[in-house]
Amino acid sequence: MRAILLASACAAAQIAAALPAFAQNASDQSDTDNEIVVTAERRSTNIQTTPLAVTVLSGEDLENRGVTTVDQLQFVAPGATVNNFGQGIDFNIRGIGKAEHNTQTTTGVITYRDGVATFPGYFTAEPYYDISRVEILRGPQGTFVGQNATGGAVFVSSRDPVIDGGYHGYIQGQVGNYNLVGAQGAINLPLTDTLAARVAFNTDSRDSFFDTTGPYSGDDGVFTASGRFSLLWEPSSNLSVLFKTDLNYLDLSAYPAEPVFYDDEPFDITSNAESTALDRFMRSVLRVDYEFGNGVTLRSVSGYQEGNSIYRADLDGTSVGNFTFRDSVDETIYSQEFNLISPDDGPITWILGAYYQHDEYNFLPGEFVIGLPEGSPFSEYVLDGTNPKETSALFGQVTFDLSDRFEVQVGARYAESSTANDVNVVQYGFPISQQQEASWSNLSGKVALNWTVNDSNFLYAYVATGFRPGGLNVPVGLGLPEPFDEELVTNYEIGWKAGWFDGRLRTQLNAYYNEYENFQVIIGYPDFPVPNLNIELNTPNPTTMYGIEAQIEAVFGAFSLDAGLGLMNSELGTFYATDPRIGGPAVACDPASGPASATCIDLGGRSQTYAPDFTFNVGAQYVFSFANGDTLTPRLNYGHVSQQWATLFQNEARGDEIEARNVFNGQLAWTHGDFIATLWATNLTDQEYVAALNSGLHFYGMPRQVGLRVTRVF
């Protein structure tokens, strides 16, 4: 069936190519002076006069830089790191985001899709296709995004239907190594003079990167299929209704990994356990904008999402042991946001908003099992039950024009969050039940002073705060553990944005200083630290983090250049902890005072996790034009993420050091009329790098891939 679907799609697609940014509407990307638009603050603003450290990429930019999923964002934006271990990711910006792997530890870098906050942990492999714009925001976004944006946020906007835009779209296919075959396309459908639809799809199939041997070798390759239906209705000039539904079937086959102490070929795996990685999920978004006669806009954004994630793995990473893991988790989210948005003109502009979200995990009976060996109730850890979370918030921002050059922005958000566990655990034959709730409230916000020096220079300075709620510890036989508290971030930032050579060169430069309080970390039980008995708590003293970032975009005729750089330093406050992976005497270890010993480790002064001190990316292309109108465009991209630590214990023998990543991507695109054919390659040097550390296993990044895409635009 896969072969039939792909063959049909590819026949329709010709053969594959790079997606150009055709058929954008006015809200997508550009106008007459190629203005880059930011929408993260609920209104469209020029990136060069917006007081945010932000990277904005169009759909064409994503194609040109080899970005198809969230993993590659770290190679095109300064300060970002993505460590993907399959069923979840550790996404951090400026070293803040997510470091522990459970549903109670929420993310600190949230992704929005078409205005709706998406799943905060599972379903991270959703592909980028038919995209209008991606905005990567750095620093806490407490006013508009709220509790899941202590590190930053990512806003992904797909292309909207165009009323009176005629029939237009594209069809694309691709082939490549690892028997890669794929197809993608979209079409705009003008239904009436007030109604238009857009239909888009994406599908890929390839062999596994891994050579898996042993009693079980079921990693049989990847097959993904995604579709999106959009409907835009504008019955009058003051009313707009936009509806979108996304469907995703992502059979990633497996998340192979090997023990950290192995030094053989990373893509040669031995296994004796079933291996599965299957995500099925959907999202529906309804956005309604109504403009009153006085120019004030009322906006409603409603979201409904549900999905199921299945994971099966050999948890010891070998065909020798019998340590296995499996789960099947349902997640359902529904959310509602209302905005009142003032007109853009006038000396005072403002936005008021209200938000509600319900997010519930359902761990299906008999499906969450850690076993050694599998099938024995006295050597298994089994969990089932539900974990509902709720958050509600009121927020607003007002901007005062002090003069035609100076303005002050003041924003605030009051949020209340709660979490509950209604779970049953069977721990090595002993039943444990947990019914526990916890809640938090917080007031976060931002105060900014902006100075438009002239038409080419913009300066800003602000203080912004953000918080991430705490969570519940799952019981492990020592009574009902206390919840861990919320994290708090205070960010002091200054920035300068400039345009040079009549706008052909744009630069961003910013410096920041963060106070990061209550970092949520898993360590050994302080009063009774024994191996593999863990608790999540907060560091007793703040981490200080500071750095500078720079970005450049240049277009001089046929030559284009883009680059980003991030320098960061982090230092943990006083903190003592026992590494739960290491045996030894059960000596009490107070997080605030120790005392230091062979097992009670002084972690003060160490680097924050997932906080590389240097990130850099650069891309360049040149368009060769021919007399018949054809063009040939070579492009090369390079991304560097320096060494980082996966745990505060920084134990190299246990694989805690994640080495630097150096990834080159390249492509050669030929345009002939409505056709574009592109030879492309990712990870050109075939660097073998660790993409994540989890459960004592190393998960590796993607090897070199090469292929051909052809697109027909109509």
Dihedral, 354, 30, 457, 615 alpha carbons, nearest 10: 80
45 pLDDT higher than 50: yes
| Best CA proximity match to 349, nearest among 404, 406, 296 | 296
495 pLDDT higher than 70: yes
Structure tokens at 632: 């040939």
Tell me what pLDDT residue 32 has: 34
Q: Each residue of 532-556: b (16+ CB within 10 Å) or e?
A: eebbbbbbbbbbebbbebbbbbbee
Structure tokens at 202: 């994406």
Q: Which residues have a Cβ under 8 Å from the Cβ of 667 and sit 6 or more positions away?
A: 18, 64, 66, 634, 635, 678, 679, 680, 681
Quick: pLDDT tens for 4-31.
333 433 433 332 333 333 333 333 333 3
Quick: pLDDT tens for 588-621.
899 999 999 888 999 999 999 999 999 999 999 9
Tell me what pLDDT residue 218 has: 66
Q: Specify whether the CB–CB gap between 422 and 474 falls below 8 A.
A: no
* CATH code for position 499: 2.40.170.20
Quick: pLDDT tens for 651-682.
998 889 999 999 999 999 999 999 999 999 99
Query: pLDDT over 70 for what percent of the chain?
Result: 94
- Which residue range is the domain that position 161 belongs to? 2-713
Among the ranges given (192-201, 207-216, 413-422), the one the predictor scored with the smallest mean pLDDT:
207-216
Tell me what pLDDT residue 264 has: 73
The burial class, CB within 10 Å (0-12 / 13-18 / 19+), for 374 is middle
Query: pLDDT over 90 for what percent of the chain?
Result: 73
| Best CA proximity match to 337, nearest among 364, 314, 316, 356 | 356
Other beta carbons within 10 Å of 15: 18
Quick: pLDDT tens for 336-357.
999 999 999 889 999 999 999 9
Tell me what pLDDT residue 491 has: 97
Among the ranges given (78-82, 382-386, 579-583, 702-706), the one the predictor scored with the smallest mean pLDDT:
579-583
Quick: pLDDT tens for 570-582.
999 999 999 988 8
Q: What is the pTM of this model?
A: 0.92
Beta strands in 59-179 (DSSP E): 80-84, 89-93, 109-113, 116-117, 131-138, 152-158, 168-176
Q: Which residues have a Cβ under 8 Å from the Cβ of 474 and sit 6 or more positions away?
A: 102, 104, 383, 421, 423, 425, 434
Strands 297-314 and 276-291: antiparallel
Q: Which residues have a Cβ under 8 Å from the Cβ of 628 and sit 6 or more positions away?
A: none
- CA–CA separation, 21 and 174 (whole Å): 18
- CA–CA separation, 325 and 476 (whole Å): 17
The phi, psi pair for 108, rounded to 5°, reads -110, 0
Overall number of domains in the chain: 1
